[in-house]
Amino acid sequence: MEFSRQTSSIVQKVIEKNFPGEEPSTPITDVGDAGAGQEISREETQPEPQEPEADMDALMAELDSAPQKGDLITGRVVSTSKDGVMVDIGAKSDGLIPTHELDADDDLQAGDEVEVILLKPGNEENLALLSKRRADYEKNWQQLLEHYQSGTVLEAMVKDSVKGGLVVDLGVEGFVPASHVMTKRRDLRGFVGQILKFKIIDIDRKRNKLILSNRQAVDEERQLKRQETWANLEEGKILPGVVRRITDFGAFVDLGGIDGLLHVTDIAWRRLRHPSEALKAGEKIDVLVLEIDQEREKISLGLKQLLPDPWKKAARNYRTGKVVKGTVTRIVPSCAFVQLEEGIEGVIPVSEVSDGRINSPDEVLHVGQEVEVKVLQVRARQRRMSLSLKDAAKEQEKREYRQFMSNQRPETVTLGDVFGELLREKEQGEKTDGAPTATEPVPDVAVVDVADVPPSDDRDTAVEETAPPDSADDETASDVSLPQADEDTASEDSSGEVDGEDDISASPS
């Protein structure tokens, strides 16, 4: 009915244009038994048509170009109200977008260009009914179809986790099978809310079917990075990487689509029992490219080469004969290894462990023990150092002995030490009694060292007699000082001294 109204209106316009000022004649429905002459007279009275074929073509073109239900059309916003948005969709007709056919974030203003879906064509009495929400939905499908054909990698947020996979939001809900998620986890709920990369692997608009793959998107991205990395790879170049996997012999580092091997011996200057002692999965590190084998697609990396080499200063820091401290790190039947600092390790042969005979160093040492060792030899170029435990023990004994001797006071005996106490006791007695006591004999003569005796010519004056104790010169005699002599001289009795004096004085002058 609506289409017939539009058609009659268009036909009326064409007639008015081709036959201005004339009323349309009643079409002949039946000729009947009229004669030929009558038919001829009718043909003569009818006006000749002025080429209506062109107008009919234009009419049909206009009918074909008229928007139909479900078409996507572009219009311009005329006005907005609480009921919706008025849109000029061309052909001197307007349409209305109801509020429920708008998205919550739509903010249309007068003059804005907008794409809509024609839900119901208009007529002379009613406006056309439009929908922007459905137009956006159709545009999304059209864009997704183009991405599918071009193989574009898309980013979308995971909306939900369902049995068998994930649901993502691309303006249109899509499904990602669990086998196409780049993970080894069975529980996919941890991906909800995350933004991941996907590639469309199947699309069907009629069935509203959209299947995506995260694994293909990640693999494709890695392949592109791999090609770019190989193109820029050079030996001796420092590259950033991420530790992906750790094994007993080393660690695999992702350089950007390419994994390189970082061997355990190239991780640190010190000896490592396992790479996990220095690295952990997911750690970001800088590595040096040591060797490239592009045919076999193998790359050797180094980490310790970027760190200072401690052996360059070993000859200066560990001179021969120096005693240093270290920690036993490893013991074998023939020797023990001692770490002196980070990256420097020396060897104690079994013959240098102890003075006694032992079959293995573990009879004296154990791993983790702190010891003092003596440096026997340093070969920095070969990264070898020979140490001795028994020589260090001897050096320690010598140091302890020297320290003990340095703390001892010398014990030398002099005449002053022997007679000093006697003189002090005498002086103390004089102060109390005023005269010497019988128990405190005072020598009659001064003790003279034989070495101080003068030649024979002056022998008569070498020794002077002292006054008797009860004379007036008692005070003078008590003040005579005694020279220091050997311990043997101090032990002589007073009679010997007098005899010596008599012998000297009896000698001829």
DSSP 76-142: EEEEEETTEEEEE-STT-EEEEEGGGS-TT----TT-EEEEEEEE---SSSPEEEEHHHHHHHHHHH
CA distance 43 to 45: 5
At 453 the pLDDT is 46
Angle, helix 2-18 to helix 52-65, in steps of 10 degrees: 150
At 328 the pLDDT is 93
The token pair at 187 is: 């529980």
Interacting residues of 244 by C-beta distance below 8 A, sequence separation 6+? 252, 253, 254, 259, 281
**Is the separation of the CB atoms in 257 and 305 below 8 Å?**
no
At 208 the pLDDT is 87
The token pair at 279 is: 């690295």
**Which of 454, 456, 443 is CA-nearest to residue 483?**
443
Q: Please state which CATH number belongs to domain 151-219.
A: 2.40.50.140
Cα three-residue angle 376-377-381, rounded to 5 degrees: 160
| Max Cα-Cα span within the chain | 216
Q: What percent of the chain has pLDDT over 70?
A: 69
* Strand 94-98 with 72-81, pairing: unpaired
Q: Domain map of the chain by residue range?
A: 2-25+34-65, 72-136, 151-219, 235-306, 316-406, 415-506
At 224 the pLDDT is 86
Per-residue tens of pLDDT for the chain, all 509 residues = 444 455 455 545 545 555 555 554 444 444 344 444 444 344 444 455 555 555 666 555 555 566 777 778 888 888 888 888 888 887 667 888 888 888 777 778 888 888 888 888 877 777 888 888 888 888 888 889 999 999 899 999 999 999 889 999 888 889 999 999 988 888 888 899 999 999 999 999 888 899 999 999 999 888 888 888 888 888 889 999 999 999 999 999 998 878 899 999 999 888 888 999 889 999 999 999 999 988 888 999 999 888 888 888 888 888 888 999 999 999 999 999 998 988 888 999 999 998 888 888 989 999 999 999 999 999 888 888 999 998 988 888 888 888 888 877 666 666 666 677 777 777 777 766 655 544 445 454 444 444 444 444 444 443 344 444 444 344 433 343 434 434 443 343 433 433 433 343 333 33
Q: Please state which CATH number belongs to domain 235-306.
A: 2.40.50.140
CA distance 178 to 446: 121
At 461 the pLDDT is 42
**Is the separation of the CB atoms in 396 and 372 below 8 Å?**
yes
pTM score of the predicted model? 0.44
At 9 the pLDDT is 57
Interacting residues of 344 by C-beta distance below 8 A, sequence separation 6+? 269, 310, 311, 314, 318, 385
CA distance 230 to 220: 16
CA distance 453 to 458: 9
Match domain 316-406 to its CATH number in 2.30.30.100, 2.30.30.140, 3.30.365.10, 2.40.50.140: 2.40.50.140
At 1 the pLDDT is 45
pLDDT (tens digit per residue) in 38-86: 443 444 444 555 555 556 665 555 555 667 777 788 888 888 888 888 8
pLDDT (tens digit per residue) in 282-314: 999 999 999 998 888 899 999 988 888 888 888
Q: In a 3-state reduction of DSSP, which class is residue 501? A: helix
The CATH topology of domain 72-136 is OB fold (Dihydrolipoamide Acetyltransferase, E2P) (2.40.50)
At 418 the pLDDT is 65
Tell me whether the CATH fold assigned to 151-219 matches the one assigned to 316-406: yes
